[in-house]
């Protein structure tokens, strides 16, 4: 069943061919096409000529409804009646003010085309003819027929039709002026070409990026490894200048000897009656002459109050120094003991003690002594006394304290990166005195002086020697040491020869080297399946991942290939 009229909404992207199908398939005799602004249909006038031709062939009458002036104009030029649904009258003509100024045309010879008027009852349209350069504008006249009259169809069309009147410049200014510039049709056609060209360029650029810029490959390789160990002796020689791989020898340095003394108090477990002489230190000066003077053990020194003290051992006092004709005293320090027991000899510092043996000679004033630290230990009566075990424990403790202090000082003298080990140093006690209490308290004291010398070596130098040994025995291709394990056993040192024998245990995992640039050149252009069959020195396994998802082979260019080794 046919219907009189059907309205069809046209989409912005609908083509002329699709709209034609809509018209032909419609069951209505009259079809109103609602065309939106900026639609694909309104890009070319040929689209409306096609619609008109196909509608006539199908026996249908079509109308155009649109708010786009360009669409309405192209429809009218193609013989299709158009209307603007927003305007008040059904003709669909564009409305302008009653009076507008003349506008000079861009048509040749300053002439404007005369627009075709809609004719009544199928009256043929007139072709445009050139008119003088006076702007003809369509003016909507809002005439209303008398309410009492019944208008004929022709009279209704008269009121709905726009009139054209020539307006000269000299007439009054318009209430509103709307002048819209419209791109010539030839440029509208070129715009489509430009869009197509831009799309082609975009697609070409996207293809270039996808094929040459974006592709990436991450290649992971498992390198060959060789485990190597060494359990033996390495010689540390202070006279060696560099590593000797054949003799397994590295350079070393000796430090010291360093000396240190200390006095410590310990508890005594015994009591005994007795007497003891005070002990301490005296510094002997030579202000007599440049010649040295030897003093035998027990040489007496007298304090100003008459107390006598004797030196414990033979000593040689160096000669005085003469500088620029002036003599400077020299000195030496030695242990002394009070001549008699008793607490009265536990004296403090004394500035000058004379030598009674030189009395009456010029040396009496030239040689003298000075006590800088207090003497102690003198007593008569019952006092605390150490047992043999007390003495043994005290001496052992004293030696350990001196050893630790000297070892710390020795390490402090070594350059950064140097190391010493057990057996790499020599420690000895130079002298030791046991001082029993003076009858007051329950303790006794031990004075001791120790000396230490040490061997030291660069641990990195030792590692280099052992790694070089491992590479030599495992093959030159294994370059990179991993998981190094190094330990030492007590060494033995010969300071007179300047050599230390160092027992070491060394373990290392040597990894083959990888020339990344050569490897990247080898895998360039290869697919994942082809990489498994490649042979490259030092590589045990190859795995690869590609990006983006469409990439199937390793891209050329080292910057787009990342290689990591395991």
Ranges in the chain, pLDDT < 50? 88-179
The overall pTM is greater than 0.75 = no
The answer to the question of residue 443 being in a domain is: no
Same domain, 23 and 150: yes
State the Cα–Cα distance between residues 234 and 468, nearest whole angstrom.
14
The answer to the question of residue 411 being in a domain is: no
Same domain, 175 and 287: no
Residue 266 parent element (H or E): strand 253-267
State the Cα–Cα distance between residues 321 and 290, nearest whole angstrom.
6
State the Cα–Cα distance between residues 205 and 224, nearest whole angstrom.
43
Q: What is the predicted pLDDT for the residue at 199?
A: 82
Place of tokens 């329950």: 442
Phi and psi at 357, nearest 5°, equal: -65, -25
Same domain, 168 and 33: yes
State the Cα–Cα distance between residues 350 and 211, nearest whole angstrom.
99
Same domain, 294 and 158: no
The total of structural domains in the chain comes to 2
- Please say which residue of 362, 380, 398 terminates a domain: 380
CA separation (Å) from 122 to 33, 72, 128, 291?
21, 20, 18, 154
Residue 293 parent element (H or E): strand 293-295
Q: What is the predicted pLDDT for the residue at 549?
A: 66
Same domain, 132 and 20: yes
Q: What is the predicted pLDDT for the residue at 89?
A: 44
Same domain, 14 and 142: yes
The answer to the question of residue 12 being in a domain is: yes
Q: What is the predicted pLDDT for the residue at 553?
A: 72
How many helices (H) and strands (E) the chain has is answered by 10, 31
- Please say which residue of 170, 186, 202 terminates a domain: 186
**Do 403 and 452 form a contact (C-beta atoms < 8 A)?**
yes
Q: Which two tokens stand for residue 183?
A: 């791109």
The answer to the question of residue 247 being in a domain is: no
Same domain, 154 and 29: yes
Closest CA to 50 of 90, 8, 91, 21: 21
- Please say which residue of 380, 399, 428 terminates a domain: 380
Q: What is the predicted pLDDT for the residue at 248?
A: 92
Q: What is the predicted pLDDT for the residue at 527?
A: 73
Q: What is the predicted pLDDT for the residue at 164?
A: 43
The answer to the question of residue 52 being in a domain is: yes
Q: What is the predicted pLDDT for the residue at 437?
A: 63
Characterize the bridge pairing of strands 130-131 and 112-113.
antiparallel
The answer to the question of residue 203 being in a domain is: no
The answer to the question of residue 332 being in a domain is: yes
Closest CA to 511 of 562, 472, 543, 471: 471
User: What are 109-137's pLDDT values in tens digits?
Assistant: 444 444 444 344 444 444 444 444 434 43
| Structural domain range at position 95 | 3-186
Q: What is the predicted pLDDT for the residue at 441?
A: 65
Q: What is the predicted pLDDT for the residue at 529?
A: 64
The answer to the question of residue 54 being in a domain is: yes
> Exposure of 357 by Cβ count < 10 A (0-12 exposed, 13-18 middle, 19+ buried)?
middle
């Amino acid at each position: 069943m046919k219907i009189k009229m059907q309205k069809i909404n046209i989409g912005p992207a609908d083509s002329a061919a699709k709209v034609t199908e809509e018209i032909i398939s419609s069951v209505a005799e009259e079809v109103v096409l609602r065309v939106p602004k900026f639609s694909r249909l309104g890009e070319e006038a040929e689209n409306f000529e096609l619609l008109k031709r196909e509608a006539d062939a199908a026996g249908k009458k079509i109308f155009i409804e649109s708010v786009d002036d360009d669409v309405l104009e192209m429809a009218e030029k193609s013989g299709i009646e158009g209307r603007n649904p927003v305007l008040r009258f059904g003709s669909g003509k564009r409305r302008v003010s009653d009076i507008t100024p003349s506008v000079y045309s861009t048509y040749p010879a300053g002439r404007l085309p005369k627009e075709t008027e809609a004719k009544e009852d199928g009256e043929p349209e007139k072709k445009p003819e050139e008119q003088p350069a006076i702007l003809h504008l369509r003016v909507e006249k809002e005439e209303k027929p008398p309410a009492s009259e019944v208008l004929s169809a022709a009279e209704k069309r008269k009121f709905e039709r726009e009139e054209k009147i020539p307006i000269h410049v000299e007439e009054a200014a318009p209430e509103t002026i709307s002048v819209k510039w419209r791109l010539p049709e030839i440029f509208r056609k070129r715009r489509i070409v430009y869009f197509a060209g831009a799309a082609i360029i975009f697609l070409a650029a996207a293809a270039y990026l996808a094929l040459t810029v974006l592709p990436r490959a991450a290649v992971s390789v498992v390198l060959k490894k060789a485990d190597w160990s060494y359990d033996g002796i390495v010689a540390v020689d202070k006279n060696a200048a560099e590593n000797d791989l054949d003799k397994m020898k590295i350079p070393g340095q000796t430090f010291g000897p360093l000396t240190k003394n200390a006095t410590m108090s310990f508890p005594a477990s015994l009591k005994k009656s007795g007497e003891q002489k005070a002990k301490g230190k005296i510094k002997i000066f030579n202000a007599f002459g440049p010649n040295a003077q030897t003093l035998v053990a027990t040489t007496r020194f007298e304090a100003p109050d008459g107390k006598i003290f004797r030196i414990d051992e033979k000593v040689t006092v160096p000669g005085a120094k003469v500088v620029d004709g002036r003599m400077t005293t020299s000195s030496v320090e030695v242990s002394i003991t009070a001549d008699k027991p008793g607490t009265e000899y536990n004296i403090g510092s004394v500035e000058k003690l004379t030598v009674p043996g030189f009395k009456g000679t010029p040396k009496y004033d030239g040689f003298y002594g000075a006590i800088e630290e207090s003497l102690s230990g003198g007593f008569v009566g019952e006092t605390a006394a150490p047992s043999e075990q007390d003495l043994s424990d005290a001496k052992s403790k004293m030696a350990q304290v001196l050893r630790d202090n000297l070892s710390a000082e020795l390490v402090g003298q070594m350059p950064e990166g140097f190391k010493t080990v057990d057996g790499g140093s020599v420690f000895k006690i130079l002298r030791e005195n046991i001082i029993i209490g003076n009858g007051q308290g329950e303790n006794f004291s031990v004075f001791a002086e120790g000396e230490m010398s040490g061997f030291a070596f660069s641990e990195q130098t030792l590692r280099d020697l052992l790694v070089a040994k491992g590479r030599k025995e495992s093959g030159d291709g294994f370059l990179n040491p991993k998981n190094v394990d190094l330990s030492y056993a007590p060494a033995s040192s010969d300071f007179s020869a300047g050599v230390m024998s160092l027992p070491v245990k060394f373990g290392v995992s040597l990894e083959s080297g990888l020339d990344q640039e050569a490897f990247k050149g080898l895998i360039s252009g290869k697919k994942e399946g082809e990489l498994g069959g490649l042979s490259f020195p030092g590589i045990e396994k190859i795995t690869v991942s590609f990006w983006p998802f469409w990439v199937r082979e390793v891209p050329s260019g080292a910057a787009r290939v990342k290689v990591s080794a395991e």
